[in-house]
Structure 1
Amino acid sequence: MKAYIVGVGMTKFEKPETRDWSYPDMVREAATAALEDARVRYDQVEHVPAGYCFQPSTAGQRAVYEMGLTGIPVYNVNNNCATGSTALMLARQFVEGGGSDCVLAVGFEKMTRGALGGGTGGGDLAGSPVARHYGIMAAAHGFEASPPTAQIFGNAAREHMERYGTTPVQLAAVGAKNHRHSVNNPYAQFQDPYTVEEVLASRTVHRPLTKLQCSPTSDGAAAAVVVSERFADLHGLGDRAVEIVAQTMTTDTEESFASGSCVDAVGFPMSRAAARQVYAASGLGPDDLDVIELHDCFSVNELLTYEALGLCAVGESGKLVESGATTYGGRWVVNPSGGLISKGHPLGATGLAQAAELTWQLRGEAGARQVPGARTALAHNIGLGGAAVVTLLRRA
């Protein structure tokens, strides 16, 4: 049975502690917008997968109780930075399995200011969910005082530079592109454009990554209504419908660790495997895509993901972004929302915010950031530790 996104909503992503709101406030705002967009009432919803990382157990129930006390099952989802797309995947599975006709996926996060600790307990790797990943980094590069996530991705960038000649300018070009895209996104945490030179001149977080190449911590929520074909037909929702053509999740394999490379430890093999599975399931490939939202937690991860998604050969991603192929007027528009780097990264909401952006793009509702003629889209969302979710969407 096919599954369709018929409604999406999100809050503006905000710098933590700048807006006086609770996570139930966030969810009510995003979920209400998604339901109104779908022309669906909350009492028609049969299940709610609710994604978050930093709130307590059963926070999903607390959040959606604001929508109504209908007694439906609520599933609390935590898959690190891939949490939002994992909630969406559960919604799709409920519908495709034939047991549900209308599911609401929500994702939210209320964070604190400052860099993420990366789950390392302040550098103590023992017992950490990412112990193997940071162990790979520590063996090859040591463990420094800078934020752990910036360290592991920064070291992945150094490896890519050493192997393929990728330059600091090419890494900065990702940040400049995504900040430029965010100017037209009213939901983005940052909406200021920066040149490549300004990106390079910003404060170094972990060499070669500068502040304007790193996603910020954020508060925010996003939601999507996923329905069956019969529900869409019965309620006349065909004009809202975006088909989830294919979707898969992968986790780490031995390939993530065997090489001792940070490129592999941060998820390149997972992303490549997920993309290949989605292409095989859909019969489509990179040449069929028009618009892509991918997980640019750091500029280097956008470059690695170009290669994992098959947009270019391994080692060629720096040249690809420099060529203009991944912005307006190029072959694809990648991260028209501004991506994580400038839109923000409230972990539980990120994957669903990607789905919202792509739904708007495929409906032609993205305003000044609209990708002309967009019909097919791909979302890529990754969580260290690890999970990679790739979703292929098409206008119904």
Structure 2
Amino acid sequence: MTNEVAIIGVGMHPFGRFEGKTAMQMGTDAIRAALTDAGLEWRDVQFAVGGSWEVANPDAIVGMMGLTGIPFTNVFNACATSASATEACADAIRLGKYDIGIAIGMDKHPRGAFTVDPTLVGMPKWYGENGQYLTTKFFGMKANRYLHDHGISQETLAKVAAKNYRNGGLNPNAFRRKPISEQEILDSPMFNYPLTHYMFCAPDEGAAAVIMCRADIAHRYTSKPIFVRAVEVRTRTYGAYEVNTTYAPVQEDVSPSVYAARSAFESAGVSPGDIDVVQLQDTDAGAEIIHMAEAGFCADGEQERLIAEGATEISGSLPVNTDGGLIANGEPIGASGMRQLHELVLQLRGTAGDRQVGGTPTAGFALLYGAPGTAGATIVTT
């Protein structure tokens, strides 16, 4: 049996800093919000999939929600964790094993720049403690090379970040809700050229949840189901040159974002031109620019003109990161992709408020990129 899959409920705990509140507690808030949105009780959920970087056993959240005995699968795929959870949840319904399930993401990261525990990839602990394992170095080099190769200015990076801060100001769930001018962004401390402080996202805290069901029963819970047309997760075909160390030969390759996006469009039977609203991984402003091309929305080097013309603004022809993206929301890793889905569902329902894309959007695309080279692409439609 193969079923179509619909999203019938979404919920979020705001992203930011919440002293005295655990990731698990934020996760339960997101779950309850999604249940309320779908008009369901926890006992109606037949299975769950969840992911986190900081929480070793997110399945323990059932002890806080209610011990109903449901199967719970823990997943982790770095920044692509939520795509993996979404895929596992949708596939279990698509294959007929369950009727209703929930995908959950949650995290609570310490303050400061992202520093991955090096022991997770076989490096000595001191390597991270003395600052040699900061992801900003990699992202700066990657952006610098891309901008050089394709004639894109640092000012365009500032335009991307300023746009996302403006969008975050319209989002009550965002971490950073104060608009920052392009000049302020350019003048902020240089982290790794060409990326300044305000061009980066920050690790923070938050949670999000998405409830899915068989499409043929979705009308029982919502008058406007959003259909999961494709979720595809891909890795590189050879080597790596990412933030994590690798024992494989280091060789440049087409990004896994390209593979994931192409596969998602093929599976969904749509093209980039059919998409009305886009969520792209913007760990930094350069990443959003790069992913515009890698996902197929423009050619390499075309971004500078599109961004200058306002194409990626909420009012533009290709709205990108309408909720402020990672730059405004920060990144609690496990929850990041669920936030993207939450925003796409609101946009396709027409309930995104001040940041609503005009014209009745019918298709949304989300891209996650997780080190050391895993990407997830999701396509949803009305």
The TM-score with structure 1 as length reference comes to 0.88
CA contact (8 A) 2:239 2:251 kept: no
Query: Compared with structure 1, are the counterparts of its residues 87 and 156 closer, same or farther at alpha carbon in structure 2 (3 Å cutoff)?
Result: same
1:8, distance to aligned residue in structure 2 (A): 0.3
| Residue matched to 1:127 | 122
Alignment of 1:290-369 (within 5 A): 290-369=276-355
CA contact (8 A) 1:255 1:269 kept: no
What per-residue deviation string (whole Å, max 9, x for no partner) do you get for residues 318-343 of structure 1?
33222211113321110000000111
SS at match of 1:154: helix
Distance in 2, matches of 1:384 and 1:48, equals: 25
Q: Which segment drifts farther, 324-333 or 297-306?
A: 324-333
Match 1:105 to one of 100, 103, 106: 103
Query: Compared with structure 1, are the counterparts of its residues 86 and 311 closer, same or farther at alpha carbon in structure 2 (3 Å cutoff)?
Result: same
What per-residue deviation string (whole Å, max 9, x for no partner) do you get for residues 231-268 of structure 1?
324xx23414100011211012117557845xx5xxx6
CA contact (8 A) 2:238 2:251 kept: no
SS at match of 2:15: coil
What per-residue deviation string (whole Å, max 9, x for no partner) do you get for residues 6-64 of structure 1?
0000011013xx432112210111000001101111111111111101122x2x22223
Distance in 1, matches of 2:33 and 2:340, equals: 16
One-letter code aligned to 2:149 = R
Distance in 2, matches of 1:250 and 1:307, equals: 17
Alignment of 1:164-313 (within 5 A): 164-233=150-219, 236-254=220-238, 256=240, 260-261=251-252, 269-313=255-299
Query: Compared with structure 1, are the counterparts of its residues 80 and 255 closer, same or farther at alpha carbon in structure 2 (3 Å cutoff)?
Result: same
CA contact (8 A) 2:102 2:211 kept: yes
One-letter code aligned to 1:388 = A
CA contact (8 A) 1:38 1:240 kept: no
Distance in 1, matches of 2:150 and 2:330, equals: 29
| Residue matched to 1:79 | 77
Distance in 2, matches of 1:271 and 1:280, equals: 14
| Residue matched to 1:133 | none
Distance in 2, matches of 1:118 and 1:66, equals: 28
CA contact (8 A) 2:171 2:323 kept: yes
One-letter code aligned to 1:203 = P
SS at match of 1:36: helix
1:368, distance to aligned residue in structure 2 (A): 0.6
One-letter code aligned to 1:359 = V
Query: Compared with structure 1, are the counterparts of its residues 253 and 384 closer, same or farther at alpha carbon in structure 2 (3 Å cutoff)?
Result: same
1:119, distance to aligned residue in structure 2 (A): 4.4
Q: Does 1:380 align with 2:364?
A: no
CA contact (8 A) 1:7 1:240 kept: no
Distance in 1, matches of 2:108 and 2:67, equals: 23
Query: Compared with structure 1, are the counterparts of its residues 218 and 307 closer, same or farther at alpha carbon in structure 2 (3 Å cutoff)?
Result: same
1:363, distance to aligned residue in structure 2 (A): 0.4
Q: Which segment drifts farther, 218-227 or 238-247?
A: 238-247
1:111, distance to aligned residue in structure 2 (A): 1.1
Alignment of 1:9-48 (within 5 A): 9-15=11-17, 18-48=18-48
Distance in 2, matches of 1:282 and 1:221, equals: 27
SS at match of 2:255: helix
SS at match of 2:64: coil
Query: Compared with structure 1, are the counterparts of its residues 80 and 259 closer, same or farther at alpha carbon in structure 2 (3 Å cutoff)?
Result: closer
1:165, distance to aligned residue in structure 2 (A): 1.7
Query: Compared with structure 1, are the counterparts of its residues 76 and 117 closer, same or farther at alpha carbon in structure 2 (3 Å cutoff)?
Result: same
1:126, distance to aligned residue in structure 2 (A): 6.9
One-letter code aligned to 1:227 = C
Distance in 1, matches of 2:373 and 2:290, equals: 16
SS at match of 1:66: helix
| Residue matched to 2:113 | 115
